[in-house]
Amino acid sequence: MKTREELVEAFHLMWDCYPEQVRLIDRSFLVIAGNTAYIRAGGRTDVRCNVGDPAFHRGCQAIAALNAGETRTKKTEVGGIIWESYWVPVAGEKDYYIHFTNGLNESIRQYNQSKALKTIKEKRGVYLALIDPDPEGSRAGAFALKADRERGGADRKPIMIQSYDKVKEFTDYADQT
């Protein structure tokens, strides 16, 4: 068995560059470590992962994965996006597992984008031009802007935003004013 510090170090070596949020969690559901994406999204360590709405944790497979010593997965459709969740026991450790959900980033991105568009249009009389590094996203944003102008939005000023982090920044600002 490894020490907690060794587990955390190994976790960061393996998962810090993974684009989705990943956590190292113990059997009591305490978050021991989170990768860079998790921390950037506001995730914290030394907190229980199973707090909040019990319905959100209804499909949790953590204990089943730990007891069986093998990975458990679950697919869920959320807002038209497939979330594929994983509970992966740490090899050689009976009380630790890795948990992540592929598809979560896309859901957060869509939520933040739609919330920012709505909030800024309502509160600021402007429209949001999201310059997405993803070519599909840029095209979609350009079509949305063209449609907005055709509906009479030409007199509003655009706010050009280059990342989804900035969308959250503008949304938070608009919510405060």
In CATH, what number is assigned to the domain containing residue 87? 3.30.450.20
Q: Is the pLDDT of residue 72 over 50?
A: yes
- 61/117 same-domain check: no
Do residues 23 and 31 make contact, with C-beta atoms less than 8 angstroms apart? yes
- 17/93 same-domain check: yes
Burial 116-150 (b: 16+ CB within 10 A, else e): bbebbbeebeebbbbebeeeeeeeebeebbeebee
> Which amino acid appears at position 91 of this protein?
A
- 9/96 same-domain check: yes
Which residues touch 135 (CB under 8 Å, ≥6 apart)? none
> What pLDDT, on the 0 to 100 scale, is given for residue 166?
52
Bridge-based pairing of strands 157-161 and 81-89 is unpaired
Which residue among 86, 102, 118 closes a domain? 102
Asked whether the whole model's pTM tops 0.85, one would answer: no
- Out of 58-72, 75-89, 148-162, pick the least confident: 148-162
More confident residue, 143 or 73: 73
Q: pLDDT digit string (tens) for 20-60?
A: 899 999 999 999 999 998 998 888 999 998 877 777 788 89
Which residue among 40, 70, 102 closes a domain? 102
- The range of the structural domain enclosing residue 77 comes to 4-102
Percentage of the chain beyond pLDDT 90 is 38
Average pLDDT of the chain to the nearest whole number: 75
Q: Please state the domain count of the chain.
A: 2
The encoded tokens of residue 127 equal: 């429209």
CB atoms inside a 10 Å sphere around CB 4: 12
Do residues 31 and 21 make contact, with C-beta atoms less than 8 angstroms apart? no
Q: How many Å apart are CA 69 and CA 92, to the nearest integer?
A: 9
Helices (H) and strands (E) in the chain, counts: 6, 7
